[in-house]
Amino acid sequence: MDSITIKRPDDWHLHIRDGKMMEAVLPYTASVFGRAIIMPNLTPPVITAQDAVEYHERIMAALPKDTQFKPLMTAYLTDNTDPDDIAKGFQENAFVAVKLYPAHATTNSAHGVSDITKVDAVVKRMSEIGMPLLIHGEVTRSEVDIYDREAVFIQETLMPLKEKYPDLKVVLEHITTSEAVDFVKAADDTVAATITPQHIIINRSDMFRGGIRPHLYCLPIAKREKHRLAVREAAVSGHKSFFLGTDSAPHPIGAKESSCGCAGIFNVPAAIETYLEVFEEERKIENFEAFASLNGPAFYEMPVNEDSITIVKQDWNMENEIVIDETTSLHPFKGGKTVTWKVQ
């Protein structure tokens, strides 16, 4: 196969930040994807409907003129989030979903939820109105090993939550474990998961191959090989509950290559191509369109994009460094490597 045409894909989990960084990274997404779920973990976070409306305006102003790209906004859940503001924001299309960060789980999550019981009224309302809850599924207690945090979260928090609110629509974001795959497969169609390119390509040993590799560090952290294989199998399976979410999360090179480097992998410059490489390696190209373009809209009850993109078999070299301004550069996923597909 030397080219593939699919309905325009969407990215159901994306960080674009704000200001100059946003201006620099947004064109990579807008040139390929029709829509993206925009993560709200700015400083300060996007908490209210009004915050989301203002962030949406900044994104629209930063977009290249010739694009139809549509940002889909989310609310950052805090212990003090007002259920009425969330419901009103959802009804008025200020946001399409709420993001749950357990407090201190990841980048800019200090304002996140300290205990799931604190947000019970919001979750109850979301369940009633059919608003999806997007979950960073990791416990944060320091005694829980970092490699176990997702599996423990599913047991301790997610299963009881879904038992209490069976109708609540949930997306378990950026899954990394066989436990997450099993949970999603066993659930009904109120539950789905996004899968990043890195979690189906690297395992935890790759972070330390030949030395420490800060640009492969993200959260949830890459797990053992058996987990990579389980998540990879789920991604290419065509199963309707698994869809594309890059979790592209740009951090300046200096913030990654540091004595305490930030979590996040900037993968959008070759996201669709690197996913496609995996489907090709697994001989499942026939399921690629479902994963990239169909399953997400079905879950979110949105129409599939009308137009299409074509990706051709063509080698090109991903640059090592993408310059944002005089002081800031990014190292993209696959930087310095050959990518074997290219969006036309």
Site for ligand DOR in 109-138 (CB under 6 A): 136
Instruction: In whole angstroms, give the CA distance from residue 5 to residue 95.
Output: 30
Angle at the Cα of 21 from the Cα atoms of 25 and 312, rounded to 5 degrees: 10
The tally of CA atoms less than 13 A away on the side-chain side of residue 188 is 8
Per-residue string for binding with ligand DOR, 4-23, x by CB under 6 A? -----------x--------
- When asked if residue 247 is in the footprint of Zn ion (CB under 5 A), the reply is yes
- Tell me if 249 contacts ligand DOR by CB under 6 A: yes
Q: Judged by CB under 6 A, which of 29, 74, 81, 107 binds ligand DOR?
A: 107
Q: Which does 289 bind (CB under 5 to 8 A by kind): ligand DOR, Zn ion, none?
A: none
Least distance CB 4 / ligand DOR (angstroms): 29
Q: Which lies closer to ligand DOR via its Cβ, residue 139 or residue 309?
A: 139
Comparing CA positions, the residue from 98, 229, 109 lying closest to residue 165 is 98
Q: Which residue is nearest to Zn ion (CB)?
A: 247
Stretch that binds Zn ion, among 19-27, 111-119, 149-157, 243-251 (CB under 5 A): 243-251
**Which lies closer to ligand DOR via its Cβ, residue 26 or residue 309?**
26
Report the residue from 22, 219, 234, 271 that binds ligand DOR according to the rule CB under 6 A. 219
Between 222 and 290, whose beta carbon lies closer to ligand DOR?
Answer: 222
Q: Is 37 in the site for ligand DOR (CB under 6 A)?
A: no
Q: Which of 247, 307, 315, 325 is catalytic?
A: 247
* Residues 165, 179, 249: CA angle, nearest 5 degrees: 85
138 binds Zn ion (CB under 5 A): no
| Contact (Cβ atoms closer than 8 angstroms) between residue 201 and residue 274 | yes
Does the annotation count 79 as an active-site position?
no
Give me the DSSP letters along 264-326: -B--GGGHHHHHHHHHHHTT-GGGHHIIIIIHHHHHHT-PPPSSEEEEEEEEEEPPS-EEEET
Task: Spell out the residues 6+ positions from residue 150 whose beta carbon is closer than 8 angstroms to its own.
Answer: 137, 138, 175, 176, 177, 179, 180, 220, 223
Indicate which residues carry an active-site annotation: 247
